[in-house]
């Protein structure tokens, strides 16, 4: 990312004033991001996006007026109205339910990160970059929380994945490349390739579909196997 010549132009929507300013400072100190505006609610966010046409928006999941999941609604609306703008949703919930809600209409240009990520500016910036390029990112903690579930809860595909494959999937969810995964798991890149193909097959995905999205699709298929009421046999 150090090779980026142009800074990414973002808008931040966060109702907590201190955190809003903290996030702005943090992103600006990274040198890769230019914060065009910071707003406190969804309405102001839509206005800012119309006015400033940023590359990406960083949106708090809970915003006025109801402090529920306004951030997710806003992210999906922005993606629908401005397909060129990526959205990173910052959430305090590690539950996969919210990620799934966010990715309902598609995964392109959307990221679901826990707010803790503001402590790791590189990761935050990497997610911003990914969404501007049309990619997707899911917070590793969200995936981990799923992995900690007992195998008895298994429905659908999870039971069929080996432990190693689940590890590879977790790394994929973080938007890592094959080389990144091989580095993280101390295995060869060809082994990673083999695992990914196996995962794709088990999840019923087209292994020839290349790129970042098929990785997220894999994670989503994985997540989907946990959705309530989805009693896959």
Partner 1 sequence: MSMGSRLVSETTGPIDHVGHGVGDRANRWLIWAVWFLALVMFSGISSGLRRTSGMPLLAGLGWIAGVMAIATLGALVVWKRKSLVQGWLLTGFAFSWSVGLFAYHFFGFPFIGTGSASTFDLSLTRSLIAIGDSAFVLAVVSFIFLLFVGHDGSLPSPRWQWVAWFLVGFAPLMIWGQVRNAGRVVDVDAWLARSTWWSFEGAALDPNPTDQILDLAAISVAFVFFSLMGWVLWHRIRIAEDEQLQQLKWIAFACSAVLVWWILWVPVPESGWLATLQTLLPGPALLLFALGFGMALFKYRLWDIDLVVRRSLVYGLLWLVIAGVYVGVAAGFGMLAGAQFPIGVAIVLTAAATLVFQPARTWLESVADRWVFGKRASPVAALQSLGQGVAGSGRPQDIAEILAGTISRALVLAWVRVDIKGSPPAEVGVHNDEDETTLPVAWGHEVFGLLRCQPQRGARLGEEDLPLLEALVGQAALAIAHARMAARIVNAQEEERRRIERNIHDGTQQDLTNLVAQLAIARAKANGDPEVVGDLNRIQQDAQRILGDLRQLAQGIYPSVLRDGGLVSAIEDRCSRLPIDVNVRIGSRLAGQRLPVETEAAAYFFTAEALNNVLKHSGASRVDVALDLDGTWVNVEVRDDGVGFEPESDVGGSGIIGLTDRIRAFGGELTVSSSPGHGTVIAAQFPTRGVSTGQL
204 binds partner 1 (CB under 8 A): no
185 binds partner 1 per the rule CB under 8 A: no
Tokens 């894999």 map to which residue? 218
Q: Name the burial class of residue 5, with classes exposed (0-12), middle (13-18) and buried (19+) by CB atoms within 10 angstroms of its CB.
A: exposed
Q: What is the largest CA-CA distance in the chain?
A: 51
Q: Does 229 contact partner 1 by CB under 8 A? A: yes
Report, in Å, the least distance between residue 110 CB and partner 1.
18
Distance CA 163, CA 187 (A): 14
Q: How far is the CB of 114 from partner 1 (least distance, A)?
A: 9
Nearer to partner 1, 44 or 147 (CB): 147
Does 62 engage in binding with partner 1 (CB under 8 A)?
yes
Q: How far is the CB of 89 from partner 1 (least distance, A)?
A: 13
For the bound state, the minimum distance from the C-beta of residue 115 to partner 1, rounded and expressed in Å, comes to 5
DSSP string, the chain: -TT--SPEEEEEE-SSHHHHHHHHHHHHHHSSEEEEEEESSHHHHHHHHHHH--SEEEEESS-TTT-SSHHHHHHHHHHHH-TT-EEEEEES---HHHHHHHGGG--TTEEEEEGGGGG-HHHHHHHHHHHHTT-EEE-HHHHHHHHTS-GGG--TTGGGS-HHHHHHHHHHHTT--HHHHHHHHT--HHHHHHHHHHHHHHTT--TT--SHHHHHHHHHHHHHTT-TT----
- Does 69 help bind partner 1 (rule: CB under 8 A)? yes
Interface stretch with partner 1, choices 105-113, 143-151, 162-170, 192-200 (CB under 8 A)? 143-151
Q: Does 22 bind partner 1 (CB under 8 A)?
A: yes
| Least distance from partner 1 to the Cβ atom of residue 91, Å | 9
Which of 55/70 has CB closer to partner 1? 70
**CA 99/CA 101 separation, integer angstroms:** 5
| Smallest separation (angstroms) from partner 1 to the CB of 192 | 28
Of the two residues 19 and 36, which places its CB atom closer to partner 1 in the complex?
A: 19
Q: Establish if 153 lies at the interface with partner 1 (CB under 8 A).
A: yes
Report if residue 16 touches partner 1, rule: CB under 8 A: yes
Q: Pick from 11, 13, 23, 39 the residue near partner 1 by CB under 8 A.
A: 23
Residues making contact with partner 1 (CB under 8 A): 15-16, 18-19, 22-23, 25-26, 29-30, 62, 67-69, 92-95, 97-98, 115-116, 118-121, 148-150, 152-153, 226, 228-229, 231
């Amino acid at each position: 990312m150090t090779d980026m010549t142009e800074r990414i132009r973002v808008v931040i929507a966060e109702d907590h004033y201190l955190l809003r300013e903290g996030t702005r400072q943090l992103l600006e100190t990274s040198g890769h991001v230019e914060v065009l505006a910071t707003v406190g609610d969804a309405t102001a966010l839509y206005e800012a996006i119309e006015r400033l046409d940023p590359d990406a928006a960083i949106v708090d999941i809970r915003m006025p007026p109801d402090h529920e999941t306004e951030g997710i609604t806003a992210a999906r609306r922005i993606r629908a109205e401005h397909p060129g703008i990526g959205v990173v949703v910052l959430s305090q919930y590690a539950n996969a339910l919210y990620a799934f809600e966010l990715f309902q209409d598609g995964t392109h240009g959307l990221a679901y990160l826990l707010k803790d990520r503001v402590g790791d500016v590189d990761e935050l910036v990497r997610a911003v970059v990914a969404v501007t390029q049309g990619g997707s990112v899911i917070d590793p903690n969200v995936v981990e929380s799923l992995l900690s579930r007992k195998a008895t809860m298994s429905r659908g595909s999870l039971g069929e994945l080996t432990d190693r494959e689940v590890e590879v999937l977790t790394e994929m969810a973080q938007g890592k490349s094959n080389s990144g995964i091989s580095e993280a798991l101390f295995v060869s890149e060809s082994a990673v390739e083999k695992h990914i193909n196996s995962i794709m097959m088990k999840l019923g995905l087209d292994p020839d579909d290349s790129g970042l999205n098929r990785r997220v699709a894999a994670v989503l298929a994985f997540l989907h196997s946990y959705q309530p009421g989805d009693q896959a046999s």
